[in-house]
């Protein structure tokens, strides 16, 4: 059995999704978002996010962590910088807990799940819903993205039938 914790990092909202792989079956253990209050200064927001991330990692007890890579072609560089702060906290906690961490580009995540690196968010959500036997599309998008990251990691590192392996 392997337990993967996927993150869609953001300073305002960080999505997380825990997927357990047993034999060739995947199931969602837990998923949600961590929200930092926007009206606080950066140091306090980072502290709040750090505490939330630490709590999720302690509860989930993942064997591996997967996180979305920072996109370097953002039209708004501030977004990339803020996302980088959240990614840094995830990497720090992974090192503190001794949990292996891997990052994947958005294109690789989409290609791993749908076969198309330019797939729409809706296409990705539908694949996640089908692969994880969810009764409805995963929402909000931060949760869907986090589950996509975790599922991509499983597809890329563990042989799973039904996944698109490349």
- Active site amino acids: 8, 68, 142
Write the CA distances from 7 to 24, 39, 67, 75, 110, integer angstroms: 22, 23, 5, 22, 15
SS3 label, residue 32: strand
CA dihedral for 141, 147, 153, 158, sign (positive or negative)? negative
Tokens of 155: 């597809």
């Amino acid at each position: 059995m392997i337990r993967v914790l996927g993150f869609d990092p953001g300073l305002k909202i960080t999505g997380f999704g825990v997927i357990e792989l047993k034999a060739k079956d995947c199931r969602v253990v837990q998923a949600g978002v961590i929200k930092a209050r926007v009206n606080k200064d950066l140091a306090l927001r980072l502290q709040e996010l750090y505490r939330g991330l630490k709590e999720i990692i302690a509860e989930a007890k993942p064997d591996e962590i997967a996180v979305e890579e920072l996109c370097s072609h953002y039209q708004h560089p501030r977004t990339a910088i803020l996302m980088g702060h959240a990614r840094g906290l995830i990497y720090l906690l992974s090192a503190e807990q001794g949990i292996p961490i891997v990052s994947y580009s958005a294109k690789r995540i989409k290609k791993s799940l749908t076969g198309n690196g330019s797939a729409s968010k809706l296409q990705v959500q539908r694949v996640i819903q089908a692969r994880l036997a969810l009764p409805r599309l995963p929402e909000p998008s931060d949760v869907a993205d986090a589950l996509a990251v975790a599922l991509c990691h499983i597809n890329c590192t563990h042989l799973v039938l039904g996944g698109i392996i490349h």
